Amino acid sequence: MSYKSKIKGILKFCLAGFGIAMVIIVAFGIWVYTLRFSGPDAMEMSDYHPFRSPEAKIEYLRLYDERATLWPVASETRIVETSYGQTFVRISGRPDAPPLVLLPGGGGNSLLWAPNIAGLSEHYRTYAVDDIYGYGRSVPTRTMENSDDIVNWLDELFTALQLGDNINLMGISYGGWQTSQYALRFANRLDKIVLIAPAATIFPLSGEWVKHAILMMIPHRYFLKNTVFWIFEDLVQQDETSRIFVEDWVEEIFVALRCFKFKMLVPPTVLTDQELEGIKVPTLFLVGENEKIYSAQSAVQRFNDVAPRIKTEIIQDCGHDIWILQKETVNRNVLAFLNQTMTQE
């Protein structure tokens, strides 16, 4: 290779690196700007809070209500008052069935559970929650500063719903982390818990995920679509119908980002060995073999090493889209676990 070719190659490498660095810097700058100028206004009360404007509220709720018509089973809804604001809950199943509370992923709402709800509500009284900081019908009035705020909000919610002390609690991704935090503080109120690919919790989020998350902060559909298509790669590649479903999902998220005021989620944390050992509630951990946020195999190994009492299962042919792409398998595993009589240690 000639000297000029080597120099040209080095320049290309440097320019590529510079380009990536600039994208990250710009994304970080946008994030800081948003925190500085949007964050303090997030809890300002108005007729259209937590939306950016009256028009934004109308736009998003029209889309939300349209999606809600696809909920596949009979349901009722409640708005529950807590010291953190109003929490919207979608309730299905027999009134006399044992309670199963469903927490969505970060920024999500109750409609995320539509693929699973028919099977779950056949056996349980399900309470699908619009996260108080999510894109849905819940209305926060206080800033969530740490995990204590999250578990206190959940405990107030469960008390207001009169769920008693035999609650089954299940969460996906960020909701899985919330579930683990609640189990550490209020084990006495729980019967069993299910963690579906919980964010952090077992390991720090992968570097690839962090990169995509940073780029997604740039307010453009391209970066949002790139991230969503990456994390739900198995679903996207299944067939054309699934790909269109994810494309529609991208558009819904983009509408939400445009309509809601910015709110910073409490970052999910990795549980220490002592905390993992401290989860005394019977627990099921489900993860897809192609999980993106951490290695599924390594996660199961850590549970086996540190907290072998926690039941683990790796589901084939899926990743972070586990509850959609393998909904029958997920429901079967969850119901078998919840229906099993277990002896507390």
* Mean pLDDT, rounded, for 156-167: 97
Taking 60 as the threshold, does the pLDDT of residue 15 lie above it?
A: no
Residue 205: which pLDDT band, with cuts at 50, 70 and 90? confident
At 20 the pLDDT is 39
Cis preceding linkage at 98, omega within 30 = no
* Mean pLDDT, rounded, for 4-12: 45
At 24 the pLDDT is 38
Residue 13: which pLDDT band, with cuts at 50, 70 and 90? very low
Find the range with the poorest average confidence among 20-34, 108-122, 152-166.
20-34
Taking 70 as the threshold, does the pLDDT of residue 3 lie above it?
A: no
Q: Is the pTM of this model over 0.85?
A: yes
What percentage of the chain exceeds 70 in pLDDT? 86
What does the pLDDT look like over 227-263, one tens digit per residue? 999 999 999 999 999 999 999 999 999 999 999 998 8
Residue 28: which pLDDT band, with cuts at 50, 70 and 90? very low
Cα 111 to the chain's mean position, in Å?
A: 12
| Cβ pair 193, 168 in contact under 8 A | yes
Classify residue 195 by its DSSP letter: E
Candidates 163, 168, 157, 165; CA nearest to 193 is: 168
Taking 80 as the threshold, does the pLDDT of residue 338 lie above it?
A: yes
Q: Which residue has the higher pLDDT, 19 or 237?
A: 237
Taking 80 as the threshold, does the pLDDT of residue 12 lie above it?
A: no
Residue 1: which pLDDT band, with cuts at 50, 70 and 90? low
At 209 the pLDDT is 81
At 35 the pLDDT is 42
Q: Which residue has the higher pLDDT, 208 or 160?
A: 160
List, as one string, the DSSP characters of 246-293.
HHHHHHHHHHHHHHBPP-PPPPP-BPPHHHHHT--S-EEEEEETT-SS
Classify residue 40 by its DSSP letter: G
Find the range with the poorest average confidence among 44-53, 206-215, 321-330.
206-215
- Give the number of other CB atoms < 10 A from CB of residue 47: 7
What does the pLDDT look like over 289-327, one tens digit per residue? 999 999 999 999 999 999 999 999 999 999 999 999 999
Residue 17: which pLDDT band, with cuts at 50, 70 and 90? very low
Alpha-carbon gap, residue 170 to 155, rounded angstroms: 14
Alpha-carbon gap, residue 165 to 159, rounded angstroms: 9
Find the range with the poorest average confidence among 14-18, 116-120, 123-127.
14-18
Classify residue 206 by its DSSP letter: P
Alpha-carbon gap, residue 205 to 226, rounded angstroms: 18
Average pLDDT, the chain: 88
| Cβ pair 234, 47 in contact under 8 A | no
Find the range with the poorest average confidence among 14-28, 88-102, 131-145, 187-201.
14-28
At 34 the pLDDT is 44
What percentage of the chain exceeds 90 in pLDDT? 78
| Cβ pair 127, 103 in contact under 8 A | no
Tokens of 251: 């558009």
At 64 the pLDDT is 97
Tokens of 138: 């819940």
At 270 the pLDDT is 97
